[in-house]
């Protein structure tokens, strides 16, 4: 069971949690929602608020849902769900029903859809969105390495308005 905790009570390592364990970014409504795996992102403080950063390429179906809604969720899972995250990072919701294929259970009692199997869920209110500006690269090798298709990420900053943790 997920229970609400205060952001201040979180004990986590963002580098392993996001970079190694990965997360699902979910957004939408009960009628239509989607999720995708992400291993890039951030947790921190901006404008005096606890925030998450999410980086979404323009071709992701999930972007349509994050764009059209006020809130998104970041879902973190235990190691036993790694295959599910790999699946959600290799398939598009345009082609498959990812919840059906993975057996994940969506919940709709928060401001964004999230998954009951998650060990930790961060519900985030969008504050700012900006496409990555290639002119900003101080190290141009990053542009060459990560953007040969010029599909620059959309950068989102979201206020963490609710933290749900597995009891």
Q: Which residue is nearest to ligand FMN (CB)?
A: 89
CB nearer to ligand FMN: pick between 12 and 96: 96
Q: How far is the CB of 54 from ligand FMN (least distance, A)?
A: 7
User: Are the C-beta atoms of 73 and 25 separated by less than 8 Å?
Assistant: yes
CB nearer to ligand FMN: pick between 99 and 121: 99
Query: What is the DSSP secondary structure assignment for residue 13, as one 8-state letter?
Result: -
Q: How far is the CB of 11 from ligand FMN (least distance, A)?
A: 24
Binding site for ligand FMN (CB under 6 A): 22, 34, 36-40, 55-57, 60-62, 86, 89-94
Q: How far is the CB of 9 from ligand FMN (least distance, A)?
A: 26
CA atoms within 13 A on the CB side of 82: 6
d(CA 76, CA 88): 13
Burial class (CB in 10 A: 0-12, 13-18, 19+), 92: middle
CB nearer to ligand FMN: pick between 37 and 165: 37
Q: How far is the CB of 167 from ligand FMN (least distance, A)?
A: 27
Sign of dihedral through CA atoms 94, 19, 158, 141? Answer: negative
């Amino acid at each position: 069971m997920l229970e609400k905790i205060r952001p201040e009570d979180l004990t986590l390592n963002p580098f392993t949690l996001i970079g190694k364990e990965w997360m699902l970014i979910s957004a939408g409504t009960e009628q239509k929602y989607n999720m995708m795996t992400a291993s890039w992102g951030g947790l921190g403080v901006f404008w005096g608020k606890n925030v998450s950063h999410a980086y979404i390429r323009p071709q992701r179906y999930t972007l349509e849902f994050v764009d059209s809604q006020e809130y998104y969720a970041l879902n973190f899972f235990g190691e036993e769900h790694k295959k599910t995250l790999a699946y959600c990072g290799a398939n598009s919701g345009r082609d498959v029903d990812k919840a059906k294929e993975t057996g994940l259970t969506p919940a709709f009692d928060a401001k964004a859809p999230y998954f009951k199997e998650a060990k930790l869920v961060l519900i985030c209110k969008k504050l700012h969105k900006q496409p990555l500006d290639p002119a900003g690269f101080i190290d141009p090798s990053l542009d060459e390495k990560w953007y040969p298709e010029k599909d620059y990420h959309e950068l989102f900053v979201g206020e963490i308005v609710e933290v749900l943790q597995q009891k």
